[in-house]
Structure 1
Amino acid sequence: MTPAARLSTAIDLLCAIENAPRRPADATANAFFRERRYIGGGDRRVVSGRVWDVLRGWRRLHWHLRDMEGGASPRALCAASLLLAGESFDVVDGLFSGERFAQNALASRERAALMPLEGRSLSDPAMPRAVRLEFPDWLEPYLIATFGDELERELAAMEGAAPLDLRVNLLKTDCEKALSALRQDSLLARPTALSPWGLRLDGRQPVTAAASFREGLVEIQDEGSQLVVAAVDAKPGERVLDFCAGAGGKTLALAMTMHNKGQIVACDVSAQRLEGAVKRLRRAGAHNVERHLLVSGDKWVKRRAGSFDRVLVDAPCSGTGTWRRNPDARIRLTENDISELRVKQAEILDRAASLVKPGGRLVYATCSLLAEENMAQIDAFLSRRADFELAPAGGEVLPEALREQSSFSLTPLRNGTDGFFAAVLRRVNVATTPET
């Protein structure tokens, strides 16, 4: 594709994302490219990279275009993104030639808004803090409560693209062999700093097309997510429940830590997500997993009360910790979402807790940065449940600094991972007073 055709396709994709405001951008992008299989891998990466640059700079780009007649269109946003990244106006103007596969020429109102941006930077000292750091205005008190004086540094660390992390599948290989297999696929990775199973690649690379991925030697999983699995500390032979399993990313890692011995039940409320786990489980060689769809009125939870050694609750959350990967989540998140999620998280935590054996472990995790979804949920849960207490994470996989902690928060600034929270609880026998 020519540069003009790539830009035109990026504008089309951005239009598709804007037209589906409640759908994650990556899901829209996947569907967009499936319908256009003639677009090659290299072109896809350039197009999606341009769109993701726009999404990462969404509030700042709109600030620069705030006086544009008719508002900032996808055309103007993509052009402004190029100009504020250092491209000249003449080059950008030339991409809107109106020729085959190119966008129509810039209108006078577009030229009037875009020409002054040449030579300027995306960030500007005159911007309000929420605009400069790309978060909704209403979220500032929540972020201050979480980060205090470190807010600016923490949010600035989420401005760029996230690295691509892989987890070595110890059911099929080891770290050295996986690194060698990736090199044969022309993918240069290095071990991660915190997870002994983790490998990191820089930038967007075609991992899913590599033989090492197709053969199940590695799985895409952020290093922080791997550490959540390490906190579960599941052992071979145990009964383990992944209560919000989704498409099974953490389920796969649990099967690995259990050496395929024992039983894992992967639950979710979405049949589509659970069905998506089947192919991944087969590729990874995970044989000790069964799936269960949670539906309204289901007595499954009641019948299995107190029957699991370990229960992982990877709770639905705001996803604020994944903003480097999913910058569109900043745009879609509302204050009402936080209120609704807090209620849902508490309900899920209570249901999952009933499934833990006395002496068993309950791990609550989110990919949120917000205290309201994290430690505040645990404090509220412990006030309701005298039969649970916080417990040291322990284990041999977590970094030594985390093993004695009963909860931990990871951030891109401090740890180089996505933002994650995990709390480890143990179910205890509580003495009851006999009735008189």
Structure 2
Amino acid sequence: MTKTNVRDVALEILLQIEKNQAYSNLLLNQMIKKHEVRGKDIGLLTEIVYGTIQRRDTLDFYLAPFLKKSKKLDQWVRILLRLSLYQMVFLDRVPERAIFFEAVEIAKNRGHKGTASLVNGVLRSIQREGLPSLDQLTDVVERLAIETSHPIWLVKRWTKQIGLEETRKMCEVNCTPPEQTARVNRIATTKEELLHLLKKEGIEVEEGSLAIDAIKAVGGNLVNAKAFKEGYFTIQDESSMLVARALGVGKDDQILDSCAAPGGKTTHIAELLQNTGKVVSIDLHEHKIKLINEAVERLGLKNVETKALDSRKSREFFEAGSFDKILVDAPCSGFGVIRRKPDIKYSKSESDNEKLAKIQLDILTEVSSLLKKDGILVYSTCTIDYEENEGVIKAFLEQNKDYMLDETIENYLPEIVKPYIKNGQLQLYPHYFGTDGFYIARLRKQV
């Protein structure tokens, strides 16, 4: 596949994301298979797609002065200019002559000579005149939003919650690519043996820096490893690995994972149980239950039971006091995983937080009666928003006096995160350890 085609595929992916709100990660994988993209071209395609999404608002700011005389642009032309400018500004190894040539060729093929002339003219003008300065933005929040390509409402919200400097650090790290980490399946192998196996396969790996169960890819793709197919590990972010650990899983425990797809935490719990006890894993959608079952089978786990069920109706199917421990890894805004899913930044609105907080509280309230006396409930999200995290727990505790925050959470988590634990709750921001942003609260049922 020529590099011209790679950019054409990138344009098609970006166009579908904007038109149909398609998920970037899923669509990228589909298009790689469809167009048989191989080798280094996969890396280039991935870089252009994610980079252009990640820097969208910054790119539009840079393009704006050069598009003043243009009539309303077709959507694909704007996206072509974005992805071309992304390469010019952020990819040092790509020659500008190649960027210009291929952008003009795509414009000719998709449009006409006039479109090709416009694209060439805009890119040449930027090369000649340079980029507009962000210094013209005098409002510090607006400048940070444009500089790091986050919606202004979101930067304002975070600034109110955690202050400008913490918000700046978080926004900046959100523009960097995430590390690929994995969780060792301790039923199948040891961390040392897994590291050895992967190195034999030519994948450069090392121990994780946060979670005890983690390894980290330094070079190569873990998904393509034979050891993955054989069930020796699960792709998972290190912060996400802390959730099952926070439960304090004990032998023969009966555990409910109430929002389980795609199954990363369910399988971690099952591994920690060492194939004793049982994990009842429920999720709203049948196709997502299929994903969990596939993961369970690949990892060789024998103690997982799955069911397609709305967790807000779980009392209709389970008796009160059925479980020793319950995990509510709640559906959330996902603002802790912006580096992995950059389109999240643009697809959410401020009102979504309020709607999600209600759903999260409803789930907690519904499953809380299913826990035994002195049982443990862990609530987690992959977001960093107060309303969905501490706000939900505060509301739940006000309505459920038989529950309390459990400060023993620190006994189950690594030493390195303890400074970030307060009153039985851990909030990790992406810039702390280069992981996903995550919130974990451990609650104990008193009666």
TM over 0.5: yes
Q: Taking structure 1 as reference, are residues 83 and 299 closer, same or farther at Cα in structure 2, changes over 3 Å only?
A: closer
- For 1:401 and 1:164, the matched residues in 2 are separated by 20
Q: Rate the CA distance shift 1:213–1:393 in 2: closer, same or farther, 3 A.
A: farther
Aligned ranges 1:143-292 → 2 under 5 Å: 143-149=158-164, 150-202=166-218, 205-292=220-307
- Kindly provide the CA deviation profile for residues 138-163 of structure 1, in whole angstroms up to 9, marking residues without a partner as x: 22332013321421122112210100
After superposition, residues 35-434 of structure 1 pair within 5 angstroms as: 35-36=34-35, 38-67=36-65, 68=67, 69=70, 70-71=72-73, 73-85=78-90, 86=92, 89-96=96-103, 98=105, 107-118=116-127, 124-127=134-137, 128-149=143-164, 150-202=166-218, 205-295=220-310, 300-301=315-316, 303-394=318-409, 397-400=412-415, 402=417, 405=422, 406-429=424-447
Q: Aligned residue pairs: how many?
A: 426
- Change beyond 3 A, Cα 1:113–1:98: closer
- CA apart distance, 1:309: 0.7
Distance 2:104 2:349 in 1: 39
Cα distance, 1:293–1:303 mapped onto 2, change above 3 Å:
same
Task: Please identify, of 187-196 and 85-94, the stretch whose mean Cα deviation from structure 2 is larger.
Answer: 85-94
Aligned CA distance change for structure 1 residues 126 and 137 (closer, same or farther; 3 Å): same
In structure 2, the gaps of 5 or more residues are 138-142
Give the C-alpha shift of residue 112 in structure 1: 3.2
Question: Using a 3 Å threshold, how does the CA distance of structure 1 residues 113 and 414 change in structure 2: closer, same or farther?
Answer: same
Pick closer, same or farther for the CA change 1:358–1:261 going to 2, 3 Å: same
Q: How far does residue 124 in structure 1 lie from its aligned partner after superposition? A: 3.4
Displacement of 1:202: 3.7
Q: Distance in 2 between matches of 1:183 and 1:231?
A: 31
C-alpha separation in 2, matches of 1:111 and 1:383: 61
- 1:250 aligned counterpart, secondary structure: helix
Cα distance in structure 2, aligned partners of 1:217 and 1:43: 29
Q: Which consecutive unaligned segments of at least 5 residues does structure 1 have? A: 430-436
Deviates more, 1:293-302 or 1:85-94: 293-302
Report if aligned partners of 2:214, 2:238 keep a CA contact under 8 Å in 1: yes
Aligned to 2:140: none
Does the C-alpha gap of structure 1 residues 185 and 423 become closer, same or farther in structure 2, counting only changes over 3 Å?
same
Contact 1:84 1:122 in 2 (8 A): no
Deviations 1:80-137 (A, max 9, x none): 1111124554332122353999877762322333223338579834452211122212
- 2:19 counterpart of 1:27: no
Q: Secondary structure at the match of 1:186?
A: coil
**Identical aligned pairs, as a percentage?**
28
Name the aligned partner's letter for residue 387 of structure 2: E
Structure (1/2) with the larger helix percentage: 2
RMSD: 2.5
Distance 2:205 2:251 in 1: 29
Q: Which SS does the other structure have where 2:275 is aligned? A: coil
Which residue is 1:18 aligned to? 18
Q: Secondary structure at the match of 1:344?
A: helix
Deviations 1:369-403 (A, max 9, x none): 11111111111111111000000244765213556
Range with greater deviation from structure 2 (184-193 or 395-404): 395-404
Once residues 83 and 245 of structure 1 are traced to their aligned partners in structure 2, the CA distance between those partners, rounded to angstroms, is 42
What is aligned with 1:432? Answer: none
- 1:3-44 deviations in Å (ceiling 9; x for gaps): 2221122112212222221x32112223333433x3225423
Partner of 1:433: none
Whole-Å separation in 2 of the counterparts to 1:267 and 1:296: 7
How far apart in 2 are the matches of 1:331 and 1:322? 13
Partners in 2 of 1:412 and 1:108 — Cα distance?
42
Q: Report the residue type matching 1:276 in the other structure.
A: L
Does the residue aligned with 1:303 lie in a helix, a strand or coil? coil
Question: Which residue is equivalent to 1:6?
Answer: 6
Note closer, same or farther for the CA distance 1:236–1:126 as it changes in structure 2 (3 Å cut): farther
| Bigger mean CA offset, 395-404 vs 313-322 | 395-404
When structure 1 is superposed on structure 2, of 386-395 and 51-60 the one drifting more is: 386-395
The amino acid that maps onto 2:163 is G
User: In 2, are the aligned partners of 1:57 and 1:122 still within 8 Å (CA)?
Assistant: no
CA distance, structure 2, for counterparts of residue 148 and residue 259 of structure 1: 43
Which piece of structure 1 moves more, 310-319 or 135-144?
135-144
Check whether the contact 2:244–2:268 (CA below 8 A) recurs between aligned residues.
yes
Calculate the TM-score normalised by the size of structure 1: 0.91
Equivalent AA in structure 2 for residue 425 of structure 1:
L
Contact 1:240 1:311 in 2 (8 A): yes
Q: Write the letter of the residue equivalent to 2:88.
A: L
Q: Aligned to 1:189, what secondary structure does the other structure show?
A: strand
